[in-house]
Amino acid sequence: MNDEYCSIKKSATATLKVEGSKFIAAAIPIEQQEDAERELQSIRKKYFDATHHCFAYALGIDRAQFRYSDDGEPAGTAGAKIFSAIQAKNVSDLLIVVTRYFGGTKLGVGGLGRAYYEAAHAALDAAEMQTKLLAQQIKITFPYAETSGVMNCLSSFHAKIVDTVYNEDVSLTFAVRESSADAMVKQLTDATRGNIAVQRGTHSTIPV
């Protein structure tokens, strides 16, 4: 199962000047569509006097959730080109906004497309890449006497503890790599001799 993909660790920018026009590209990590909308509005306010704010974003391991916009530029010359740069770098969970200040010289369809692609690509080149893993959250409940075996198992699978509650028993929620979830549940069951309750939870991502 493929549960690994690449994103960017933090925001990065690049500036490209072509025939008087200025293209300011910002690559921004996001987790959901609402993040993209918020970041886009922030850039629009920052460069309120710019001619265009073209963008593309992608979410998920297969970039199944995506959107792009030409923001008034000729169809296919901006948003799709920015998205092509994202595909070329094979990254996801990010937004790229390319802000253009028109310099007075028309670049033509081909020139415009190249400019948006190159600006987006330059921002990605400036970004620090980060591997992300698909993860599953699992909640387990077990007696205190089983703590040592449980913690050893969590350590061997590099699970990330999310929450721990101590009552009569221990309730512990952790995130583990999706492809390891089944094997980990089996090992936990074996380690505690079945003296454990397991509840599968939501899906998320873990940065490496």
With cut-offs at 50, 70 and 90, classify the pLDDT of residue 1: low
Model confidence band, residue 122 (pLDDT cutoffs 50, 70, 90): very high
The phi, psi pair for 58, rounded to 5°, reads -145, 145
pTM: 0.84
pLDDT value of position 204? 84
- Name the H helices within 93-194: 108-126, 147-156, 181-191
Q: What is the pLDDT of residues 128-150, one digit of tens each?
A: 999 999 999 999 999 999 999 99
Q: Tell how strand 129-142 and strand 160-166 pair up.
A: unpaired
Q: Is the pLDDT of residue 191 over 80?
A: yes
- pLDDT confidence bin for 5, thresholds 50/70/90: very high
Q: From CA 73, how far away is CA 51, in angstroms rounded?
A: 9
- State the span(s) of the chain assigned CATH 3.30.70.240: 132-207
- What does pLDDT average to over the chain? 94
Q: Please state which of the four CATH numbers 3.30.230.30, 3.40.50.20, 3.40.50.300, 3.40.50.720 is assigned to the domain occupying 4-127.
A: 3.30.230.30
Q: What CATH number belongs to 132-207?
A: 3.30.70.240
Per-residue pLDDT averaged across 161-175, rounded?
A: 94
> How far is the CA of 36 from the CAs of 95, 145, 151, in angstroms?
6, 46, 38
Closest by CA position to 198, among listed 115, 141, 126, 118: 141
CATH code 3.30.230.30 region(s) in the chain: 4-127
pLDDT digits (tens, 9 = 90+) for 42-100: 999 999 999 999 999 999 988 989 999 999 999 999 999 999 999 999 999 999 999 99
Predicted confidence (pLDDT) per residue in 100-113, tens digit? 999 888 999 999 99
